[in-house]
Every structure is written in structure tokens, then in C-alpha cells.
Structure 1
Amino acid sequence: MTAIVGVNVLLRFVGGSLSWGDQAARILFVWCTMIGVSLAALKGTHLKVEAINAFFPRAAVWINLVGDIISLIYAVIVCYLMWTYIQNMMEFPQYFSAIPWLSATVMYIPGVIGMAGFCVRICQGSIIPTIKMIRNRSCSEDSGASGK
């Protein structure tokens, strides 16, 4: 993506450009972004509002869990809607004006891949570990109370 944009900038200095360069860079940017969404979910660096945790520190674990579950539901909905949109585009094909041989579905496929990856990764990196932590806390509290 960077190479295509760099070459296009250099070519504009000499009065030319790649007719397909901007379109290709845009497609690659979408692919990188949607793959990054999945990676961010795994590492826990996806966007979330953490200010409420400062006001309710005891409930922060539960607030984060609810937020992650809402994010999961949102990702499932977006993944489903993008999949249905891709199916419609397959039925009524569209192509890029600058790259006429390339189907416009390549712009929406990363949305399905990225959101499906987000679903898996947020479960793997946040929801399941949080549920295990809550379960372990409640088990240790129960065993502590029964041992007294």
C-alpha cells in the first residue's frame, strides 16, 4: 500500500500517475484496518470507554465484561450484514472503475473476516479470561467462607 502511494506521488511530479493506484491503496487500507481490528481485540487495545471504571472501581470487571459482550454482539451483527451485502453483490456484480477486472466485493470481504476475527479474539482475549477470573474469585470466596 505504501509503495503504491509512494510511486504514485513520485509519478505525479513527472506528470503521470497510476490510474489504479488510489483505488488499490484504498482496498489495501481497508484490508489492513479490518485485520487490525481482530488483532486489537486479542491484545485488548480496541477502543473502549474506561472513564466509568474510575468512578466504579469495584464493578470495573463487570462493566468491562458487559462492554465486551456488547462489542461481541455488535461484531456479530456487522459480520452478518456484511455477509448478506456480499451475497447481494455477487448476485448483481459491481466492479471498480479504475480496476474493471476486480469485483467490488473485495472491499467488503475484509469486513466479514475482520468482524469474525474480532468475535473469536474478543472471546479468546477478554470475555473467557474474565469469566474464568470471576468464577475463580467466587470459588475462592466460597471456600474461604466454608472454611471459617
Structure 2
Amino acid sequence: MKKFNNILSKIEQYFIGILLLIIAFMLFINVLLRFLGSSLVWSEEVARYSIVWVTFIGSSVCIYKGAHIGVDAIMNILSDRGKKILTIITILISIVFTIIFTYLSFIIIKNVLITNQESSTIKIPMVYVYGAMPVGGILMLLRYTQEFVLKLKDGENK
């Protein structure tokens, strides 16, 4: 499980890193070309859609690293047992939200496929853009489930 987790984490992080480098390079070249009186009309659209992918894959990485925003004022006043219970409740709520989000994102994908939507400039099927939602949702669900199992195992050892 730990080996799979590390491999998945590396894939996600390399994907995000490479995509961010491509976005930065592409937009830099476009700025230079605009200075010279020309531009790549498709670069902004590609960058926008790439950032959508970075966001959804990045949310899975944030779960893995424990980097999501949280309010710890309540955690600071709770006992160790209370902290553990609140953490498990928070993870369960996150799992429920992620399941609903992923389910609804598949419905959106279905509607995009039915309507055969394309992007305005580069004319790619929008299913590739909207595909970031279910992929990110599945990855987040996997991460939250792993976190839940780890928290339960941690409680058994004490």
C-alpha cells in the first residue's frame, strides 16, 4: 500500500510540475510574441484548461500531504481522543462530499459527451477539460479513504 501510495504521489507531482512548466513556457513565449506584434491565439485557452487539470490533481496531492486549509481553533481545545474523533468525522464528511462531487462530475461528462461540446479556439472536445473533475474526484476519494484507514489503524495501536 505504501509503495503504491508513493508511486501515485510521484506521478501526480510530476504531472503537475511538468504541466506548470509547460504553461509558464507557453505563456512566456506568447508574451514575447505579443511584444513582436504576433501571438499564439490558442495558448491562453490551453493554459486555462491545463490549470483546471493542475487544480484537480493538485487537490489529491494536498490531501496526501495534509496541506488542505483547516481551522484548528477547535482542535486546540480538544483532548487527544476528541481530536481523533473530530479528525475521523472530518474525513468521513470529506469522503461523502467527494463521492457526491465525483458522481455529479460523471453526469456533467455525460452531458458534455451528448452535446458534443468543443472548445472555442482549439476545437478539442470539452470532455478532455471536464475530465479533470472525475479524475481528481477519484484521486481525492482514494486519498481520503487511505487517510481514513490510517486514522483507524492509528487508533487501534493506542
User: Hey, what's the Cα distance between the residues in 2 that align with 1:131 and 1:123?
Assistant: 11
Name 2:155's counterpart in structure 1.
134
Where do 1:71-86 residues align within 5 Å? 71-86=94-109
Name 1:112's counterpart in structure 2.
134
Larger relative contact order (C-alpha < 8 A, sep ≥ 6)? Answer: 1
What CA RMSD, in Å, does the superposition of the two structures yield over aligned residues? 1.2
Amino acid at match of 1:2: A
Alignment counterpart, residue 12 of structure 1, candidates 34, 57, 79: 34
Q: Which structure 1 residue ranges, 5 or more long, are not aligned?
A: 138-148
Name 1:143's counterpart in structure 2.
none
Asked which structure has the greater CA Rg, the reply is 1
Identity over aligned residues, as a percent?
30
Is 1:65 aligned with 2:88?
Answer: yes
User: Hey, what's the Cα distance between the residues in 1 that align with 2:70 and 2:95?
Assistant: 13
Q: What are the superposed Cα offsets for residues 54-107 of structure 1, whole Å, 9 maximum, x if unpaired?
A: 12133111111111111111111111101111001101111111112x011122
Give TM-score scaled by structure 2 length.
Answer: 0.81
Give TM-score scaled by structure 1 length.
Answer: 0.86
User: Hey, what's the Cα distance between the residues in 2 that align with 1:15 and 1:47?
Assistant: 43
Name 1:50's counterpart in structure 2.
72
